[in-house]
């Protein structure tokens, strides 16, 4: 499967997979050194790439994501990133999540917000393979599964 690198910084790398009209994002282990501002900058970079290629689905690997997203940041992500992804046409988002419970919960809580879940199907998986299998299924299923 061919993928094109879109952007990267020391915390996040993202790619476009034209065959599936999907953007893949991979958080790096260096995310343990993120600050709120660097987290926002990384997500703005990601959103710019989403706007360029207009994917129908996104995969986010958070297994190496070691930054706890505060409630204030969760709200920012919902309003400034997720809502804008939905406007561009993203319909589904799948995540492979960390075994670190606190981190996993902070990622999942972003999608508990009403704006984010309004028009975006989300699901969390223990592996990348399961996440991508769900993303590429044609049936839409229920709105939110955890």
> Which pLDDT does position 51 carry in this prediction?
97
Check which CATH number belongs to the domain holding 66 and give it: 3.30.750
Q: How far is CA 48 from CA 7, 27, 80, in A?
A: 9, 16, 12
The parent domain of residue 22 ranges over: 4-145
- Tell me the pLDDT band of 114, cut-offs 50, 70 and 90: low
25-59 pLDDT, tens digit each? 999 999 999 999 999 999 999 999 999 999 999 99
Structural domains of the chain, count: 1
Whole-prediction pTM: 0.81
- Tell me the pLDDT band of 145, cut-offs 50, 70 and 90: very low
Token pair for 61: 């690997």
């Amino acid at each position: 499967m061919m993928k094109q690198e879109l952007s990267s910084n020391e915390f996040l790398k993202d790619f476009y997979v034209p065959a599936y009209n999907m953007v893949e994002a991979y958080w790096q282990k260096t995310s343990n050194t993120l600050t709120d501002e660097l987290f926002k900058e990384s997500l703005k970079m990601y959103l710019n790439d989403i706007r360029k290629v207009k994917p129908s689905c996104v995969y986010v690997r958070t297994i190496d994501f070691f930054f706890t997203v505060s409630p204030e940041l969760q709200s920012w992500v919902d309003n400034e990133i997720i809502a804008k992804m939905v406007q561009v046409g993203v319909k589904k988002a799948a995540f492979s999540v960390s075994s670190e419970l606190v981190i996993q919960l902070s990622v999942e809580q972003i999608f508990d917000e009403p704006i984010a879940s309004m028009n975006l199907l989300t699901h969390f998986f223990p592996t990348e393979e399961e996440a991508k299998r769900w993303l590429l299924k044609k049936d839409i299923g229920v709105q939110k599964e955890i």
